[in-house]
Structure 1
């Protein structure tokens, strides 16, 4: 497990519940890793258990792995995978990160890659503790230019299911991936810019107009690119209002902590695909400009 933030921690904890599996997690946060080593990885919220996970801060200490999961922020993908390439050189490696474009970076370092999408939400609330906020399925499938083997994809899906995270092995994972990207790109930047939760953004009349505008633009990009979504993004919006009204998306969490956001692989990723397919994306371009401008306004930005 490369990256042990909220999603990485939830994946590591649940994988450790599959029989006969040894889970290693690498993250530069020393207090988090130390707490996991000393007391295990504690899951709260929708679940309540403590998971045994090997927690380290230096990827050089990783053993040879059969499977790898990349859960870092997109900005850190290349450095994380390069540092762990000795342990992943014969592994099937999946990205469960936000946005699009991470698989291409992973494939520069390892030969067999999977697309992964997870809609589960949570937050690390203290070193060694992750809160499980919202349930959701996961989908994994081959990254077409450098695909993992079918048996690796099936194995990882089976292990995650055994660990308690409902996971689907699919032949084409672009649909699930872009379904999440479209929803996140329509809600996260507005949350980050206003400080409002997902539910507040989606129920404010003026902001909901912008959410719908971003969805419409992204759907045109997907249709032109031949990507079939697994559900209507507006259904995801309504579900978020019902089930995750108070959730602060990771982009808002980044803004509150004055960290660089993943706007470039969310709205920026949609805009890039729009340019590739000849679809104008002014609403997504505006979100990229506004969030980048906010980041530059911070001290040292």
Structure 2
């Protein structure tokens, strides 16, 4: 890459998080963003009019958009923001575009990096606590700000300079981002919070704030947090904040937020229960920690999904 060449970034998946990343990066001078998503109307609107951000920010950014990742050009950096169920298909389709790229997962749960590393050579762990929602073709609502963390995926790490470059570009675009030596702590901090609240929201139809302020449901949130914290302790993962603080912050700042798992249930789509509560349970089995509450969440949500097939 010559010094005057644009930094090309591929974004796989233009749901809320992918769209927020794409839009903020696209307004950085010298950055060219290419996004891929199967929703044709969304892609057409982005390609025609740009990607509009509303809510916590208000701007429109120029983003190239395609419905097939195989149509993306060669890129220097990649961001995988698809649902976890689509990780392998997405990175396989983008294999040529990302053959020389450093690629980060900013998806929910754990285990996505392993899938990406099975296809691509240099991988980052990533996590973001920002909340948002796509409200229509070409439009994403920025609901709640939050930091991003990027670090190496240990078995097949990206270069430190690549991690620092992506973090710098995201900061310049308006998303506060930290390049860290070990990103497991931030990643699992988000996983613990999401796994303690999202399935209860999905099963009850309540928002995050409603779940966390209902006494009986809050007790279940705390059980799920305790189990997950025990798994992290046994695995040597140091959380970046007390999950109880994240719960209180969600009540204050995102009371009406419908987590993606609830949105999936309302739309009768497969959820990411397997990489959230299922990921915690799998790690618990690896380190010898029992996780009966997380196992129950997996069974209940998968039972709900099965009911749709029988209806």
Q: TM-score, normalised by structure 2?
A: 0.96
Instruction: Encode CA deviations 1:194-228: one digit per residue, 9 max, x unaligned.
Output: 00000000000000000000000000000000000
3-state DSSP of counterpart to 1:87: coil
Name the residue aligned to 2:227. 217
3-state DSSP of counterpart to 1:25: strand
Measured after TM superposition, the shift of residue 98 of structure 1 is 0.1
Superposed, 1:65-76 pairs within 5 Å as 65-76=75-86
1:48 maps onto 2:54 in alignment:
no
Query: For residues 260 and 304 of structure 2, what CA distance do their matches in structure 1 show?
Result: 16
Moved over 2 A (4+): none
Superposed, 1:152-231 pairs within 5 Å as 152-231=162-241
Query: For residues 310 and 88 of structure 2, what CA distance do their matches in structure 1 show?
Result: 24
Measured after TM superposition, the shift of residue 60 of structure 1 is 1.8
Name the residue aligned to 2:139. 129
Name the residue aligned to 2:102. 92
3-state DSSP of counterpart to 1:22: strand
From 255, 261, 273, the counterpart of 2:271: 261
Measured after TM superposition, the shift of residue 300 of structure 1 is 5.5
Query: For residues 60 and 70 of structure 1, what CA distance do their matches in structure 2 show?
Result: 14
Instruction: Encode CA deviations 1:225-271: one digit per residue, 9 max, x unaligned.
Output: 00000000000000000000000000000000000000000000000
Measured after TM superposition, the shift of residue 299 of structure 1 is 3.5
Query: For residues 50 and 141 of structure 1, what CA distance do their matches in structure 2 show?
Result: 29
From 271, 294, 297, the counterpart of 1:284: 294
Query: For residues 60 and 250 of structure 1, what CA distance do their matches in structure 2 show?
Result: 27
- Structural RMSD (CA): 0.7
Query: For residues 161 and 175 of structure 2, what CA distance do their matches in structure 1 show?
Result: 19
Name the residue aligned to 2:19. 9
Measured after TM superposition, the shift of residue 58 of structure 1 is 1.2
Unaligned runs of 5+ in 2: 1-10
Query: For residues 67 and 38 of structure 1, what CA distance do their matches in structure 2 show?
Result: 24
Moved more, 114-123 or 291-300: 291-300
1:294 maps onto 2:307 in alignment:
no
Unaligned runs of 5+ in 1: none
From 37, 41, 59, the counterpart of 1:31: 41
Query: For residues 58 and 83 of structure 1, what CA distance do their matches in structure 2 show?
Result: 8
Query: For residues 140 and 57 of structure 1, what CA distance do their matches in structure 2 show?
Result: 27
Instruction: Encode CA deviations 1:113-136: one digit per residue, 9 max, x unaligned.
Output: 000000000000000000000000
Q: TM-score, normalised by structure 1?
A: 0.99
1:237 maps onto 2:247 in alignment:
yes
Q: How many residues are aligned here?
A: 301
Query: For residues 85 and 300 of structure 1, what CA distance do their matches in structure 2 show?
Result: 37
Name the residue aligned to 2:124. 114
Name the residue aligned to 1:22. 32
